[in-house]
Structure 1
C-alpha cells in the first residue's frame, strides 16, 4: 500500500511516465472516475500519486489503485471496467480473487498488448474453458464471450495443445436475401464471420492469419460446413449460437472428436430465429447444465468491456424486457 505523508495523505511513487499515464488516463479521466467512485481526491504530481480525503475514502481509493497495479505497472490502459471491477471486488470482499485475476495474463496481442480477464466473471469463464471440454457462455454483447474464446484458442494452438482452430457461426439469413449476394457460399457468409476474423487479426496479425487460413490450420466457416464431420484435435468455437435451431445445436455438439475442446457463445436476448422457434443455445445450456465435463457460464452487463455506453444500453433494454 502507499505511504502516508505528514498531512495524512497517501502518496504512491510510480515507476515511470508510462505507469503514471496509465494511472491517470487520457486527460486524467481515471483520476476523475476514481474520485467519483470513492469520494477521495486524487492528484498526479510528476511520478507521485497523492490521495487525500477522509480516512475511509483514502483507503478505498488506494485499494482500487493497488488492485489494478498489474495493469498500470505494465503501462497498459486502465478502463472504467477495470476500476468498476476493482470496486465490486472490494464491495463483495473478493479483493484477493481480483488480485489473482489481474495477474492472470492470457496472451500478448500482435501489437504487444497484454490480454487478461477484466472481471471476475470473465476470469471464471476463462477457468471454465481451460477446465472443461465443452463450455457454454451466455451473455449480452460486449462481454468478451467470443474474444476470450479466440484468445484461449490461439494460445492453445501456439502451445501445440491443439492442431487447428475451427470457428463457425450460423448464417441466419441463409435464405432469400443471402442469395442476392455475389460469390459462392463461403463468400456470401463471410460478412457474418467478420467478428471472428477481426479477433484473429488482432491477436495474430493479418499476414499470419492469412497464412494459417491458407494452410487449413485455422478454418472459419458457416455452420452448414460442420455437418457429417468429426472434429479431432481442434479448438472449436460456435459463435452467435442463439441463432441455431435445436437440430443444428445437436449436430454441432456431436461433431466433437478426440483431444478437442468446444466453446459455444451467444446472447439469448438477441435471437433472430422465426418467432416461436426455440433457440438451440437456450435449450442446450438448460439440458446439459450439470453434465460432467460441461460448464455453463453466465456473463452480465457488468462484464461489458466495450464503450461504457454499451453497458448502459444493455441495462436499459434489460429493464424494458424484465
Structure 2
C-alpha cells in the first residue's frame, strides 16, 4: 500500500478539484481503486502504488486546466482520468493553448479532447475539411 499527500494552493482550488459533493474525488476513487481522504486543502490517496501515482497525475492534469481558466466539468474530469491512466496527462496542456472564438458571455471555445484539437488543426491547415464521426463529439461546436 502506498500513500500520496497532495497539498493544494487554496481552499477554493480544493473545492474545484473535489467537485460538487466530492463527485470528482469519487470518480478518482472508483477509476483507480484507491481511497481518498480530503481535509481542508489536502488530498491523501491510499492504495496500490501505480494507482495512487495515476490518481495524483489526474489531479495534476485538473490543476493544469484550472490554471488556464478551464472549468472542471464531469466530462473534463473523466478525460483527465483517462489520460492519467494512459500516462498522457501532460498532453492536457495542449487543450488550453488555443481557442477558436469567444462566446457572447466571454468564454473561449476550446477543444475539449485531443481528437478535437487535431480536427481544429486540420481545419486551419486545409481549405476544405470534412468532419465525420459519431454524434456528440463536438464537430458542430468547433
TM class, shorter-length? 0.7 to 0.9
User: What are the residue-to-residue correspondences of 1:1-322 with 2, within 5 Å?
Assistant: 9-74=3-68, 76-96=70-90, 98-106=91-99, 107-148=101-142
What SS class does the counterpart of residue 83 from structure 1 fall into?
Answer: helix
Contact 1:19–1:74 at 8 Å: present in 2 too? no
TM-score w.r.t. length of structure 1:
0.39
Flag the 1:92–1:60 CA change in 2: closer, same or farther, 3 A. Answer: closer
Partner of 1:154: none
Bigger radius of gyration: 1
Flag the 1:49–1:102 CA change in 2: closer, same or farther, 3 A. Answer: farther
Distance in 2 of aligned mates of 1:66 and 1:135: 34
TM-score w.r.t. length of structure 2:
0.80
Structure 2 unaligned segments of length 5 or more: list them.
none
Contact 1:13–1:47 at 8 Å: present in 2 too? yes
Distance in 2 of aligned mates of 1:109 and 1:15: 30
What SS class does the counterpart of residue 129 from structure 2 fall into?
Answer: strand
Structure 1 unaligned segments of length 5 or more: list them.
1-6, 149-322
Flag the 1:31–1:112 CA change in 2: closer, same or farther, 3 A. Answer: farther
Contact 2:28–2:81 at 8 Å: present in 1 too? no
Number of aligned residues: 141
Q: Deviations over 1:227-260 (max 9, x none)?
A: xxxxxxxxxxxxxxxxxxxxxxxxxxxxxxxxxx
How well do the aligned residues superpose, as a CA RMSD in angstroms?
Answer: 2.6
